[in-house]
Amino acid sequence: MVKFVVYIVVAVLIACVCCTTLEYKPAKMAECLSEVGVTEDDIKEIPSNDKNKIACFWKCIMEKTGVVSADGVVHPDKVEIAFPEVAPKLPAAVLNEFKTCLGTVGNINSCEDVQKIRSCLKND
């Protein structure tokens, strides 16, 4: 039962992180939109017409907030900086499970590597 609740909460996190309504905007969003060349509408579009640009947008967010360093190393302890409105609302166990998973994904060196982070959000 606890695992089911964890998956539900993570699913809510996915919805927030994907900015489907853009009520919540991750730190550095405007900067990364400009840098990558996407718009808020592009981010809201599901499925996206340009998945690579969207992945590059998320890589930019992760790098600008310190979750991913310039050399691709993932720093799970920085998640709250990247997602300051979402992370504090998650139960500690869910946030810790997500951070633990992030610590196992390896380096994020390309936009496509962002998919490794998504694996931490899946209900497998």
How does DSSP assign 42-106, residue by residue?
Answer: HHH-SS-S-HHHHHHHHHHHHHHTTSB-TTS-B-GGGHHHHSTTTGGGS-HHHHHHHHHHHTTS-
pLDDT tens for 40-86 read: 888 887 666 678 899 999 999 999 999 999 999 999 999 888 888 88
pLDDT score at 23: 66
Q: What is the pTM of this model?
A: 0.74
Residue 5 neighbours by CB under 8 Å, 6+ apart: none
pLDDT score at 22: 54
Round to the nearest angstrom and report the end-to-end CA distance of the chain.
15
2-121 adopts what CATH topology?
Answer: Recoverin; domain 1 (1.10.238)
Residue 107 neighbours by CB under 8 Å, 6+ apart: 71, 72, 73, 74, 113
Under 8 Å between Cβ of 97 and 90: no
